[in-house]
Amino acid sequence: MNVSGHTRAQPPLDDASAELRREGADAGAPGGSRSATINDVASAAGVSYQTVSRVINGHPSVRASTREQVLEAIARLGFRPNRVARALAGGRIQAVTVLASNTTLYGQRSAIQGIEEAARIADFAVGVRVIESEAPADVADAVDRAMERGSALIVIAFDRASQRALAEVPRDVPVVGIVETPVGDEARLLTTQPKPWVWIDDRQAASDATAYLLSLGHKTVHYVAIPSSTSSSQRLAGWQSALREAGIAAPEPIAAQWDPRSGFEAGRLLAGDPAVTAVLCGNDDLALGVVKAMHQAGRPVPGSVSVVGFDDVPQAEFYTPALTTVRLDFTELGRAAFAALQAQIGAAPTARPRPRPQLIVRESSGPPPAGSGGR
């Protein structure tokens, strides 16, 4: 790794890079001097600064002709309202901060991507703040910082730390939680105490995936679970219910983390048991690890064991074998979260379609081996 430690050149500028600079800049900001303020626009348009403020905020009672002039001056001066000043003065919120415990896991990063995209369209600034640990102090700190005046919050609450963070957000701050499918008490509570939460309902999908494996002839389906913020997730519940419907007692789920290594370890455990012929995994990384472990244990996938994941990461199609998995559209979920936030702060809520999870059958699943299959 190479780090050019030099400080950038000071005012005496060279022509080469100066030439590059404004090449293709949009209409505004001519010259390059300090950007125009609302006052500059006001005097340029011959109105008061307040009128300009009204125009840029879409206030109704401004005469059309006046608005025209102001708009023209804005364009001419390349004026851009200063978000910071706006926030200080207590204006409309124009920023979201995403609170998450991890920005690299597929679900979370995809959600962030969706939020960023929606926010960009709505001309919101987006901030990101990672919650360092589950420790109360860290959680409180993360919330405090993220809240800093002028920003709404979206909390990706897929684990304990972020779940706590979501709970700790003061009620006067606009917030939307991206959560696991509410279950049991929580779900019931939601009907009486609606909260601004969004989620992907994966119970049915988990059930479908399980039923699919069963239909292939497997006697049972094992489950390798991601950590759940709630005591029992709906993903797990869906798996259980499908098993129950088929009159099969659910085996003990294997508790794992989020990463492939954890899946690998779970896989090693499972590989030793010849009764294991079908494994449903909480996410694709886990599935990848399980497949690898099976492989190493001399149990080909799908020949000897079927493995199904959750997420459908872009790579899943190209794994060997290509992974059968449940597609979860986290990017869309992120967009939905942002839409919910807009609804909450009064901006027109763009109703979003609700794509459902979908089982994508590929190569990693098939009938059980002749010897052990058939029920």
Looking only at residues 130 through 159 of this chain, which bind its own copies when binding is defined by CB under 8 A?
Answer: 130, 132, 136-137, 139-141, 144-145, 148-150
Question: Which CB sits closer to DNA, 66 or 102?
Answer: 66
92 counts as binding DNA under rule CB under 7 A: yes
Query: Which tokens go with 260?
Result: 């492939």
Residues 296-315 interacting with its own copies (rule: CB under 8 A): 314-315
313 phi, psi to nearest 5 deg: -65, 155
113 counts as binding its own copies under rule CB under 8 A: yes
Which span sits near DNA by CB under 7 A: 42-50, 231-239, 253-261, 316-324? 42-50
Q: Write the binding mask 48 to 67 for DNA: x where contact by CB under 7 A, - elsewhere.
A: xxxx-xx-xx--xxxx-xx-
Q: Which residues pair with 176 in a beta bridge?
A: 154
289 counts as binding its own copies under rule CB under 8 A: yes
Query: Which tokens go with 70?
Result: 């102001």
227 counts as binding its own copies under rule CB under 8 A: no
CA proximity to 56, closest of 33, 24, 89: 89
8 A C-beta contact, residue 362 and residue 210: no
- As measured in angstroms, the least distance from the Cβ of 363 to DNA is 55
- As measured in angstroms, the least distance from the Cβ of 9 to DNA is 22
Question: Which CB sits closer to its own copies, 120 or 375?
Answer: 120
Q: H-type helices in 246-363, by residue range?
A: 260-271, 284-296, 330-344
What's the rounded Cα separation, in Å, for the pair 278 and 367?
A: 9
251 counts as binding DNA under rule CB under 7 A: no
Q: H-type helices in 226-283, by residue range?
A: 234-245, 260-271
170 counts as binding DNA under rule CB under 7 A: no
Residues 140-169 interacting with DNA (rule: CB under 7 A): 149
63 counts as binding its own copies under rule CB under 8 A: no
Q: Write the binding mask 26 to 45 for its own copies: x where contact by CB under 8 A, - elsewhere.
A: x-xx--x-------------
8 A C-beta contact, residue 215 and residue 365: no
100 phi, psi to nearest 5 deg: -145, 160
What's the rounded Cα separation, in Å, for the pair 60 and 35?
A: 27
- As measured in angstroms, the least distance from the Cβ of 103 to its own copies is 6
348 counts as binding its own copies under rule CB under 8 A: no
Q: How wide is the angle at C-alpha 78 spanned by C-alphas 76 and 82, nearest 5°?
A: 140
Q: Which does 139 bind (CB under 5 to 8 A by kind): DNA, its own copies, none?
A: its own copies
| Lookup result for tokens 């997420």 | 311
38 counts as binding DNA under rule CB under 7 A: yes
Task: Give the Å distances, CA to CA, from 42 to 25, 55, 56.
Answer: 24, 11, 12
- As measured in angstroms, the least distance from the Cβ of 16 to DNA is 30
- As measured in angstroms, the least distance from the Cβ of 223 to DNA is 50
Which span sits near its own copies by CB under 8 A: 7-15, 43-51, 221-229, 238-246? 7-15
Q: Which does 340 bind (CB under 5 to 8 A by kind): DNA, its own copies, none?
A: its own copies
9 phi, psi to nearest 5 deg: -55, 140
Question: Which CB sits closer to its own copies, 220 or 285?
Answer: 285
| Lookup result for tokens 């936030």 | 341
176 phi, psi to nearest 5 deg: -130, 135
Q: Which does 66 bind (CB under 5 to 8 A by kind): DNA, its own copies, none?
A: DNA
CA proximity to 356, closest of 177, 208, 221, 241: 208
What's the rounded Cα separation, in Å, for the pair 267 and 279?
A: 9
Q: Which does 231 bind (CB under 5 to 8 A by kind): its own copies, DNA, none?
A: none
What's the rounded Cα separation, in Å, for the pair 77 and 10?
A: 26
Residues 181-220 interacting with its own copies (rule: CB under 8 A): 181, 189-190, 193-201
- As measured in angstroms, the least distance from the Cβ of 8 to its own copies is 5
